[in-house]
């Protein structure tokens, strides 16, 4: 016992006293700092009466502001019947140049027959999410069919187009990752980017030099911090065919950049699926890019396919991850079986009747050339690729209100002459970048050249009358 205690005692005694003073001070400093750290900004102590007074005085804003009753969304044109080539509004038929029924599959008898048969087998709703007995065999059939159609390993089916895009992106991109996005991307992508909480780097619309500039900046940063670079995933998100401008993405350049800077590529083919490419496979087919090199293709089934829902396809390793981490897939009821089989039948028709794509393209080209001629020498101008079935008619003016008025007048006057056009609607203020007002004009494969010419004539007349004033 003594052999332990005595040495300790002698050590304690032999240490100079100022040592203890210093150590004591040190402890005090630690306690002081610790105290300071723990002290939060203290809330004022209020009595119950004071609290009640505050509660009584607090007046919240109204839940929603007043909406002007003349807003177009409150006074829509109610369509009776099918939204095919012609739409019927209040008993009158209008040539439809407004909906995205590109292949004319709305009202197709084969599809409707299949949908009806499905109702008599599976009912209407699926009554559950995919995980909990909401997976019907037709869902798996469609997924397989989509994967084969696109030449991918696997496809994942969502029940809504918007949710497809908005859920697929945050399933991979997380906080700390970097997403390069085109400034012209649609709203669903913007919401997906927001939900991912990643760092978003915007590059100018279809400007590959600007994109590469951003990549180079990042490459320099990576050199400085290789540890972080090793765990930072990089993605680029582009659209195959841009909804907001009707342009194609420069896919070959994007692929080059992908391999050069190791950035994964996600393409939203909502508009280009079933439209671009000689057999409707989208931009990969058009540019001859190997589809397995694209990390993920997302598309909605609500445009050319004329159903509801959307899908993501790609390599199984990538895509299957969504089955648990894609929120819109995992936590939402599955697509109603009748819409699933309708989409299946539409895909079959697309395979059997590839002439629909040719008709669509020739109509598109005819419409674009005609439009350019019809509104030449006016302040109206048209935007869109020759391959695109969507064109934007815009008005050259610095004054947004004036442009809107002119475009509205064009829509209204054309409507009186039997043409259903629509303004492209946006939520101003919610979009990431300012939007130039436009008319979104679509063509479909069913239009005959006479109908295209006739509508062009109407548009030309209206534009001329508007320009005169």
Partner 1 sequence: MPAASTDKGSSDFTSSEASFPASDLEDRSRSASKNSDSDHSSNEDSGISLHDGDREPIEEPKSEREARLGRCDEIEYAKKRSTRVKDDDDDFIYPKPDAASLLHQETAEAPWITDFLVSFSYMVKFFFARLSEFLQARGWIKCHGHAETWKHRDFVPIVGGMEALFIRNIYRIGSDAVNRVISSVPGTVMTMPQRVSHDYGWTYEFSGVEQTVMNMGSYNYLGFAQNEGPCADNACEAIDHLGVASCSSAQHYGSTSVNRQMEQLVAEYLGTEAAICFPMGFGTNAMNIPALVGKGDLVLSDKLNHTSLVLGCRLSGATIKVFKHNDVADLEKKLCDAVVFGDPTTQRPYKKILIVMEGIYSMEGTISPLPQVIALKKKYKAYLFLDEAHSIGALGRTGRGVVEYCGCSPADVDIMMGTLTKSFAAAGGYIAGSKRLIDHLRVKSHDGVYGMAMSPPVVQQVISSMSIMMGKDGSDEGQRRIKQLIRNTHYFRKQLKKLGFLTYGHMDSPVVPCVMFYCTRSLHFIRETLNRNLATVGVCYPATPLAKCRARFCLSAGHTKEQLDWALNVCSQVADISNTKYGMQEAAKWRNVDIVY
Residues 137-156 that bind partner 1 (CB under 8 A): 137, 139-140, 153
Residue 223 binding partner 1, by CB under 8 A: no
Residue 332 binding partner 1, by CB under 8 A: yes
Q: Is the C-alpha dihedral spanning 290, 291, 293, 298 positive or negative?
A: positive
Residue 182 binding partner 1, by CB under 8 A: no
For residues 430-469, which are near partner 1 according to CB under 8 A? 430, 440
Residue 422 binding partner 1, by CB under 8 A: yes
Residue 126 binding partner 1, by CB under 8 A: yes
> Which member of 70, 231, 401, 468 binds partner 1 (CB under 8 A)?
231
> Which member of 7, 24, 128, 151 binds partner 1 (CB under 8 A)?
128
Pick between residue 316 and residue 397 the one whose CB is nearest to partner 1: 316
CA end-to-end distance (rounded Å), the chain? 112
Residues contacting residue 290 through CB under 8 Å, at least 6 positions apart: 284
449's tokens: 């050249």
Pick between residue 306 and residue 367 the one whose CB is nearest to partner 1: 306
Containing 395, the helix (H) or strand (E) segment is strand 390-395
Residue span binding partner 1 (CB under 8 A) among the ranges 8-16, 232-240, 349-357, 375-383: 232-240
Pick between residue 60 and residue 434 the one whose CB is nearest to partner 1: 60
Residue span binding partner 1 (CB under 8 A) among the ranges 204-212, 316-324, 347-355, 365-373: 316-324
CA dist 400 and 113 (Å) reads 47
Residue 412 binding partner 1, by CB under 8 A: no
Q: Which of 42, 23, 43 is nearest to 31 (CA)?
A: 23
Tell me the closest approach of the beta carbon of residue 277 to partner 1, in angstroms.
20
Pick between residue 278 and residue 320 the one whose CB is nearest to partner 1: 320
> Which member of 339, 350, 368, 459 binds partner 1 (CB under 8 A)?
339
450 φ, ψ to 5°?
A: -65, -40
> Which member of 9, 31, 51, 369 binds partner 1 (CB under 8 A)?
51
Residue 35 binding partner 1, by CB under 8 A: no
DSSP one-letter string for 309-360: -EEEEE-HHHHTTHHHH-HHHHSSBPPPHHHHHHHHHHHHHHHH-THHHHHH
Q: Is the C-alpha dihedral spanning 94, 97, 100, 104 positive or negative?
A: positive
For residues 367-406, which are near partner 1 according to CB under 8 A? none
> Which member of 131, 151, 252, 354 binds partner 1 (CB under 8 A)?
131
Q: Which of 196, 106, 101, 139 is nearest to 332 (CA)?
A: 139
Residue 58 binding partner 1, by CB under 8 A: yes
Residue 130 binding partner 1, by CB under 8 A: yes
Pick between residue 80 and residue 401 the one whose CB is nearest to partner 1: 80
Tell me the closest approach of the beta carbon of residue 262 to partner 1, in angstroms.
5
| Angle in degrees, CA 71, 73, 79, rounded to 5 | 130
Residue 38 binding partner 1, by CB under 8 A: no
Tell me the closest approach of the beta carbon of residue 373 to partner 1, in angstroms.
26
Q: Kindly state the number of chain residues that form the binding site for partner 1, as judged by CB under 8 A.
A: 117
Residue 132 binding partner 1, by CB under 8 A: yes
Residue span binding partner 1 (CB under 8 A) among the ranges 1-9, 22-30, 205-213, 332-340: 332-340
Contact 77, 93 (CB under 8 A): no
Contact 375, 364 (CB under 8 A): no
CA dist 93 and 125 (Å) reads 32
CA dist 185 and 197 (Å) reads 17
Containing 94, the helix (H) or strand (E) segment is strand 92-96
301 φ, ψ to 5°?
A: -100, 20
Residue span binding partner 1 (CB under 8 A) among the ranges 114-122, 277-285, 351-359, 380-388: 114-122
Reduce the DSSP state of residue 441 to 3 states and report it: strand
Per-residue contact track with partner 1, 255 to 294, x per CB under 8 A? -------x-x---------------------------xx-
CA dist 234 and 197 (Å) reads 13
Residue 66 binding partner 1, by CB under 8 A: yes
Residue 328 binding partner 1, by CB under 8 A: yes
Containing 254, the helix (H) or strand (E) segment is helix 251-261
> Which member of 136, 179, 238, 441 binds partner 1 (CB under 8 A)?
136
CA dist 295 and 263 (Å) reads 10
Residue 70 binding partner 1, by CB under 8 A: no
Tell me the closest approach of the beta carbon of residue 439 to partner 1, in angstroms.
11
């Amino acid at each position: 016992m003594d052999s332990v205690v005595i040495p300790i005692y002698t050590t304690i005694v032999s240490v100079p006293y100022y040592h203890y003073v210093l150590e004591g001070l040190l402890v005090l400093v630690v306690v002081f700092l610790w105290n300071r750290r723990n002290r939060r900004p203290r809330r004022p102590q209020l009595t119950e009466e004071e609290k009640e007074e505050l509660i009584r005085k607090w007046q919240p804003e109204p839940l929603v502001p007043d909406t002007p009753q003349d807003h177009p969304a409150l006074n829509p044109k109610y369509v009776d019947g099918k939204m095919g080539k012609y739409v019927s509004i209040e008993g009158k038929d209008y040539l439809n140049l407004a909906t995205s029924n590109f292949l004319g599959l709305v009202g197709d008898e084969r599809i409707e027959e299949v949908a009806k048969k499905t109702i008599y087998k599976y009912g209407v709703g699926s009554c559950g999410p995919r995980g909990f007995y909401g997976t019907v065999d037709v869902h798996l059939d469609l997924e397989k069919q989509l994967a084969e159609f696109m030449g991918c390993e696997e496809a994942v089916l969502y029940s809504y187009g918007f949710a497809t895009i908005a859920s697929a992106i945050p399933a991979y991109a997380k906080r700390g990752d970097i997403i390069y996005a085109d400034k012209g991307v649609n709203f669903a992508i913007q919401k997906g980017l927001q939900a991912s909480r990643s760092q978003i780097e915007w590059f100018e619309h279809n400007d590959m030099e600007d994109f590469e500039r951003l990549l180079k900046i990042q490459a320099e940063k990576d050199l400085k911090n290789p540890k972080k670079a090793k765990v930072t995933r990089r993605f680029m998100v582009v659209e195959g065919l841009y909804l907001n401008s009707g342009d194609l993405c420069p896919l070959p350049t994007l692929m080059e950049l992908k391999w050069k800077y190791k950035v994964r590529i996600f393409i939203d083919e909502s508009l280009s699926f079933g439209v671009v490419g000689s057999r409707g496979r989208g931009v990969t087919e058009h540019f001859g890019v190997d589809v397995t090199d694209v990390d993920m293709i997302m598309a909605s089934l609500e445009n050319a396919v004329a159903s509801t829902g959307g899908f993501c396809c790609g390599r199984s390793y990538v895509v299957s991850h969504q089955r648990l981490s894609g929120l819109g897939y995992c936590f939402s009821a599955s697509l109603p079986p009748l819409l699933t089989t309708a989409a299946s039948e539409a895909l079959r028709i697309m395979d059997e009747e590839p002439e629909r794509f040719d008709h669509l393209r020739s109509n598109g080209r005819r419409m674009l050339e005609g439009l350019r001629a019809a509104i030449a020498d006016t302040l109206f101008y048209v935007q869109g690729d020759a391959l695109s079935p969507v064109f934007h008619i815009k008005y050259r003016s610095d004054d947004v209100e004036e442009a809107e008025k002119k475009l509205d007048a064009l829509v209204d006057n054309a409507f009186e002459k039997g043409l259903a056009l629509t303004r492209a609607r946006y939520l101003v203020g919610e979009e990431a970048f300012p939007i130039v007002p436009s008319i979104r004009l679509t063509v479909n494969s069913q239009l005959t050249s006479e109908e295209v010419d006739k509508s062009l004539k109407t548009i030309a007349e209206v534009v001329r009358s508007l320009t005169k004033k």
